[in-house]
Amino acid sequence: MDEIPDEVRSKVEKLRKEIEYHNYRYYTLNDPVITDYEYDMLVKELQNLEEKYPSLKSQNSPTQRIGSKILSGFLPVRHPSLMYSLDNIYSLEELKEFDERVKKLSDRDEIEYVCEMKIDGLSIRLKYEKGELVLAATRGDGEVGEDVTDNARTVRTIPLILSEPLDVEVRGEIYMSYTEFKKLNLIRQHQSLPLFANPRNAAAGTLRQLDTSEVARRHLDSFIYTLENPRKYGVKTQWEALEFMRKIGFKVNGESKIAKNVDEIKEYLEWCEKRREEIDYPIDGAVIKVNSFEIQENLGFTAKAPRWAIAYKFQAEQVRTKILNVTIQVGRTGTLTPVAELQPVRLAGTTVKRASLHNFDYVKERDIRIGDTVIIEKAGEIIPQVVKPIIEERTGNERPVEIPKVCPICGGPVGKLDPQDVAIRCLNPYCPAKLEAWIENFASRKAMDIHGLGEKMIKKLIETGRVKDPSDIYTLDKDFLSKLEKMGEKSAQNLINQIEKSKSLPFYRLIIALGIPMVGETTARLIAKRYHDLDALQNAKKEDLMKISGIGEKVATSIEQFFSLEKTKEMVEKLKSYGFKGSQLESQSSDQKILSNKRFVITGTLSKPREEIKNWLLSLGAELSENVSSKIDYLVVGENPGSKLDKARKLGIKIINEKELYEMIDQLSKTSS
C-alpha cells in the first residue's frame, strides 16, 4: 500500500473540520459564511482525496452524511447511567407545588430555574471520543437503548467532529420539523402508503429505518440540552452547559430563558404557547430545571425521575363538535377514505369543517357514527382528526358509517386487493379518479417508458379531454401537442417519437402498462411467455391462466375480469388499430447462464431502473420472484426495503445490496471464463 504523504493527511483533517464548521454555521446557526458553490467545492475536494487514498476514509467524514448502508438491525446499548424520564405536570398549581418542594428540599428561599421548550421528538445519547462521534443511542427503557449511530450520522445538526477534541457525552432530542413532516406525508400519500400521525411518530420511524440513505432524505433535526459530567469541563450551571455545548458545535435551542420565580416561569409558559403556532418544530410543553448543578446534586432523584426538573405539558387543543355527515374521497390509486363533515368549529387558530376518519377500520374501532358529538384535534398540529365520539350524548338518531357497496365516483365495485390490506379501493380500472395514476403507470419506465409524458403533461391531456384511457396516447399528434402550454414543436416531436418507440417494446411491458389489478412485472413476464399478443391474452380463461406456474386463482380471476369489461375490449381494439406490436419477451442472451437455478427477489429502490437490473439478471439465467419464501436464494436490497427484508432475515435468506450483487456477478463471470 502506498504511503500517504503527511500533507495529505493534514489536508484531509483540515477539510473535515472546515466542512463541519460550515455545516454548523448553515444547519445549526442558520448563518452561512460561504456560498453553496464554495461549500460544494470543499466537499468535492475531500471526496477526491478520500477516493485517492481509501485508507483515509472515516465514518465521521462529512462526505458520509448522505448514508449508504443497509443495516441488519440495531444492537442493544446499556447506558452508563439511567436516562430518566421527567415527571409531568399540567397546571400552575402543580408548578407552585414543585417550586415549594424544591425550596424545602434544598433549604433555600430562592431558586433560579432554566426554562426550555419541550421538544416532541425522541431522546438520544451521543458519545464523543477525542471530538469524534463514536455512539448514538436511543433512550429505550432508560437502562438499555439501541445503537442508531449510522442513522444519527445523517442528521446534519449532529456534529461528527466537535470544534474541540473532547471526550464528552450529551443528551438531547431528535425531531422532525413540520415542513419535513408535511413533505414526507405528501410523498407517502402519493405512494399510497399509511400516513404518519404526527412528527414524533415520523421521527421515531425514520430513526429506526434500516436504510441510512432513506434516513438522510427525511432531514431529521436535533436539539441538545444535557451535558454529562459538566464539572469535568468547569461548567457549574445548566445555562453555562447550554452555552458550552453550543460553543463546541451542538445545536442548542435558542428559545430557553432563565426564570427566578414561579411568575417568571408562568410568563415563559404563556410565551411558549404563543410561539408554538409560529415555530417549525413540534413542542408539547416546557421543561423547568434548577439552574445550579450543585443544587441538582443535592436534590437527587426519585426511583423514576429527577427531583430538580419537571415537564409542564400543554393540553392538546381539542374541541367538541358534531358530525353532520360522512363523505367518501377516492384517491388517485382508488383508495376510499371516509371524511367527517363537521359543524364548523375553531381549532388551533383555524375554522375546521372537515376531519379525517383515516379508514373504515378506524371508524369501526372507535364506533364513530353520523350525528355523533365528537372530540377533534389536529394531529401533529396539522391534520384535523376525530379522536372519539362522546357516547353519553347520543340520542338514538345516530347512524353508522357504512362501507360503500360501489365507488361513489364511477359506481364500480369496491373491495380489498389483499385481505390484510386496511384500504378499501375502487376495483374499476376505468374509474375517473384513478385515470391520472393509471396513465402515469402506463408511461412509466417499467411499462411503456414514454419520456416526456410526466405528471404535469398527463394532467393537461386529461383536462383537454383528449385522453380518456391510455390507448388515447397513441392518437396524439404534433400539431395538437405543440399548442399546449410550454410545449414547442421540438418538444412535441420528441414526445411523438417516444410514443412511437414504445410500440416496439416487449409484450410483457404492455401487460404491465395496462394496469391489470394484482398483475406486476413478474406476473406480466409469466403471462407473456404463454400468451404472445393481445388477442391471445384477452381470450384467456381463468382455468388456463391458473396452469401458469406462479399464477393463482385470485390473479387469474382479476385478469379474466379485466378483459371481460367492454371498455377493455374497446381499448384493446384501439391499441391494435394504432399499430401496437404484441411482440414476445426478448430472447435471453446466449452467454453463459452464471445465475442458473438462482432465485432472486429485489426490494427497495436501486441506482438503476429496477426493470433494467431484472432484465440483466434474467439474461444471466436467474429466476425472479415478487415474494420472499424459503425457495429464494438472494434478496437484493435497495433504499426503503420494507417488510420483505424482515421476512428474509427470519428465513435466513442471503441479503445483499446492489454493490454486492455486482461484485458477486463479476466474480462469477471471472470464475466461469
Distances in Å between the Cα of 325 and the Cα atoms of 177, 366, 367, 655 are 33, 16, 15, 50
DSSP 392: G
Torsion, CA 110, CA 115, CA 121, CA 123, rounded to 10:
-40
Which grid cell sits at 619?
439474461
Strands, E, within 130-269: which ranges?
Answer: 132-138, 144-146, 168-175, 221-227, 257-259
Q: Active-site residue among 17, 96, 103, 118? A: 118
76 - beta bridge partners? 146
Give the closest residue to 177 by CA, choosing from 30, 381, 385, 383.
381
Distance CA 279, CA 221 (A): 14
Strands 168-175 and 221-227: antiparallel
DSSP 301: B
**Which residues are CB-neighbours of 196 under 8 A, at least 6 positions away?**
181, 184, 185, 188, 202, 205, 380
Q: Is 406 helix (H, G, I), strand (E, B) or coil?
A: strand
Q: Is 660 helix (H, G, I), strand (E, B) or coil?
A: helix
DSSP codes, 224-262: EEEESSGGGGT--BHHHHHHHHHHTT----TT-EEESSH
62 contacts 160 by C-beta, under 8 angstroms: yes
Angle at Cα 314 formed by Cα 28 and Cα 87, nearest 5°?
Answer: 90
Distance CA 88, CA 285 (A): 10
174 - beta bridge partners? 122, 222
DSSP codes, 462-487: HHHT--SSGGGGGG--HHHHHTSTT-
**Identity of the amino acid at 169:** E
Distance CA 618, CA 526 (A): 12
Distance CA 539, CA 551 (A): 17
369 contacts 361 by C-beta, under 8 angstroms: no
Distances in Å between the Cα of 613 and the Cα atoms of 211, 336, 462, 508 are 20, 34, 33, 16
Q: Is 313 helix (H, G, I), strand (E, B) or coil?
A: strand
Distance CA 3, CA 445 (A): 47
Which grid cell sits at 33?
459564511
Matching residue, cell 425457495: 631
How many C-beta atoms lie closer than 10 Å to residue 319's C-beta? 16
DSSP 315: P
Distances in Å between the Cα of 245 and the Cα atoms of 163, 187, 225 are 10, 35, 8
Distance CA 519, CA 302 (A): 59
411 contacts 431 by C-beta, under 8 angstroms: no
Q: Is 529 annotated as catalytic? A: no
Q: Angle of helix 521-530 relative to helix 507-514, nearest 10 degrees?
A: 130
Give the closest residue to 403 by CA, choosing from 328, 332, 331.
328
Residue positions annotated with a catalytic role: 118
